[in-house]
Structure 1
Amino acid sequence: MRTRVRKFAHVLERLGLAMAGAASGLFVSALVGTSITLFTSQAFLLLMMLGGAIGFYLGIDTPPLPFNASSGKPSNDEWVRKIDTPEFLSAVGTFLAAFSAFASVGVIVLRHDPHIAWTWMIMAGWCVGVAMQIIAGAIARRR
């Protein structure tokens, strides 16, 4: 059983991940908003930050598959030889979202003006990555 201190620490960790996701969403939306006039609104900025916060909160710290302690094998035999879908979605989604945020910060700091196709790719990577994180978190918490 978890103690109150451990539960509190876990909540703080998850809130920190959510803030990192929101900050990453801010960088991506700042880059996209400066390049694509359709996305220059504050609503877009907040939507990207909210998506990042939810995605990083749910998707980075997914609960693992339940294991049977006596045999060391998963308690659900159908998962024995299959890919753990939430873990895979979380990993790929985190990579895409983090890489998109990294690329956005690099472009902003270096004051580079990328081709519009690169900006669309950065935004698509962010949106797909965050969506994968949210889906991974939802699947992992339902099982």
Structure 2
Amino acid sequence: MRFRVRKFAHILERSGLALAGAACGVFVAAHVGSSVPLLTTQGFLVLMMLSGALGFYLGIDTPQLPFHPHDEASPEEPKIDTAEFLSAVGTFLATLTAFFAVAIIILREDPHIAWTSLIMLGWIIGVIMQIVAGAIARLRS
């Protein structure tokens, strides 16, 4: 019984993360779509939501490598956990760009297209980093 409750709680947590990622994707899509008329389609919005959901579901809460401080100089173990690093940077980048997109929408700003392109690029790179991190972590466990 305890295993089922833990499993259900974990699935509920991951689903919440996926919903947060989808919401971030909506905000980025709303900002980018309002600045680039070609990207005002429902397909673009759905793509951004799905990429955010997938990235946040896979990339957050990745299983970490065991930490052994006495084996720091061991040549067979990498010094940096690639999945953990990609997950952290990707999550930060994706949420930072979503934060900027929300701020631009709320403050009714009209930034230069270069800033909008940077937000879109940051979102794409961040979500890809999360997805790669999740894939690496799941392949090694």
- Structure-1-length-normalised TM-score: 0.90
Within 2, Cα distance between the matches of 1:53 and 1:73? 36
Identical aligned residues as a percent: 68
| 1:127 aligned partner | 124
| 2:28 aligned partner | 28
Residues matched between the structures, number:
138
Within 2, Cα distance between the matches of 1:5 and 1:66? 25
Measured on the aligned residues, the alpha-carbon RMSD in Å equals 2.0
- Residues 14-73 of structure 1, C-alpha deviations (whole Å, 9 max, x = no match): 0000000000000000000000112111000000000000000000110111469xxx86
**Pairing partner for 2:76 from 75, 78, 99:** 78
Consecutive unaligned residues of structure 2, counting only runs of 5 or more, are: none
- Residues 82-132 of structure 1, C-alpha deviations (whole Å, 9 max, x = no match): 110000000000010000000000000000000000000000000000000
Paired AA for residue 98 in structure 2: A
Paired AA for residue 87 in structure 2: S
Within 2, Cα distance between the matches of 1:67 and 1:122? 35
Within 2, Cα distance between the matches of 1:101 and 1:60? 16
Structure 2 residue matching 1:113: 3-state secondary structure: coil
**Pairing partner for 2:109 from 107, 112, 118:** 112
Paired AA for residue 96 in structure 1: L
| 2:90 aligned partner | 93
Paired AA for residue 11 in structure 2: V
Cα distance, 1:78 vs structure 2: 2.2
Within 2, Cα distance between the matches of 1:109 and 1:20? 18
Paired AA for residue 31 in structure 1: H
| 2:11 aligned partner | 11
Within 1, Cα distance between the matches of 2:6 and 2:91? 25
